[in-house]
Amino acid sequence: MTNYVAFNAQHAINYINSLIESNQYDFFKPGQALTAYEFGDGNLNLVFRITDEQNNSIILKQALPYARCVGESWPLTLDRARIEAEVLLNHGAICPAHTVTVLHYNKDLALTILEDLGDLQILRTAQNNAEQFPNLSHHVAVYLSQTGFYNSDFYLLAQDKKARISQFTNPELCQITEDLFFSDPYTKHERNNYPAQLQTEVEAIRKNGALKLEVAKLKANFLSNPQTLLHGDMHSGSIFVNQTTTKMIDPEFGFFGPIGFDIGSFIGNLLLNYCAQHGRIDDFVARRNYQTHLLSTLVECYATFEQQWFELINKQTTDETLKASGYAEYFMKHVLQDAIGYCGIELIRRTIGLANVIDIEGITDEAARLNVQKQTLALGEQLILNAHTCDTKDAFFSLLISHLN
């Protein structure tokens, strides 16, 4: 870390100019007057937009040696910038249509330069405004199935996969996930964040032995099941969209883990927004119409995800043993059950853990917000408890509908 310095806007401009002057990269034409501003609103990093005189722009993202949302009391490794860049390069080679493009990476400065997706919207913001994206479900399913399959045992030689597992070992950020997802919400911890009026529901979760047993199983699976190279943070703030395009960003939590984790996180965020609309859209018909759209997105996404996996397994599997009749169905049943469990984990941890979501926190009516929080906790609990009963996606959708209102 001897060459590391945390950037400000002028640092960002100077760095880009140094790359241009040394003919390393041609982001902009030489001699252009550049402007930059920092606009990162995430929990961990600095993010700058650098623009030239013709309004061409790129994004410079730099890791800080601590969690930005907490401060220097929570130190973090800068190696997460390498993980993020290399996950993006890996996923981008497999699925370039839905992965943000890496233009440059500097390990010493823990920074990555990326294409600017400023003409797209962050999915979370758009969904909080009740906007619809007809291609979202298909695009996410294609991204997760393709990047998942081509980094799995079905496709990679055993030695190649083990080398990649080593390459993407990400202990510090995995520890954050392990704590925030699977531990903190089920204990009394200073990082948890929820209103006092929710204490009865929180205590009931912490005393539910059956629930905590299923959470333990999900955590053990997360810890010890390196099925594929995950994005690791597939929430709606990590997705940029418009009517024709979907791009994934920010995989700094990437590592080799269970396939169901990413798809479970994504559908969990759809359900968080579904529940939040009870406190966001007053008109019953308008609210039901948008919630129906969210459910359709969820159903179509998982159905396409599963279909894509079966097609890839049938056509692209390189391991003869894994071609055994019935194994694909066995494998995907367990992916589905994992996904349902991790979906429930996402609902609970986003409600009472450290990283609450603006979908719910942005509800201005306190009583309505509290009712939404109670619903997300109850739904998350039921999904975790009943995930093992769902042998098919239709069983999952039936379970889901039975616990939504």
- Strand, helix or coil for residue 1: coil
Whether 309 and 301 have beta carbons less than 8 Å apart is answered as no
Does residue 250 have a known ligand-binding role? yes
| Residue 116 annotated in ligand binding | yes
CA distance 41 to 224: 32
Determine whether the annotation assigns residue 115 to a binding site. yes
C-alpha 11: how far from its chain's center? Answer: 29
Q: Is 288 annotated to bind ligand? A: no
Evaluate whether 122 touches 239 at the Cβ level (below 8 Å): yes
Q: What does each C-alpha distance from 8 to 35, 56, 397 come to in angstroms? A: 12, 20, 48
**Any binding-site annotation on 252?**
yes
Amino acid at 164: R
Q: Are 352 and 377 in contact (CB under 8 A)?
A: yes
Residue 230 assigned to a binding site: no
Residue 352 · residue 323 · CB < 8 Å = no
Tell whether 26 is in a known binding site. no
233 annotated ligand-binding residue: yes
How does 343-370 read in b/e, with b if 16+ C-beta sit within 10 Å?
bbbbbbbbbbbbebbebbeebeeeebbb
Confirm or deny that 251 is annotated as ligand binding.
yes
In degrees, to the nearest 5, what angle opens at C-alpha 103 toward C-alphas 101 and 106? 125
- Residue 61 assigned as binding residue: yes
Binding residues for substrate: 233, 349
Binding residues: 45, 61, 115-117, 233, 250-252, 349
Binding residues for ATP: 45, 61, 115-117, 250-252
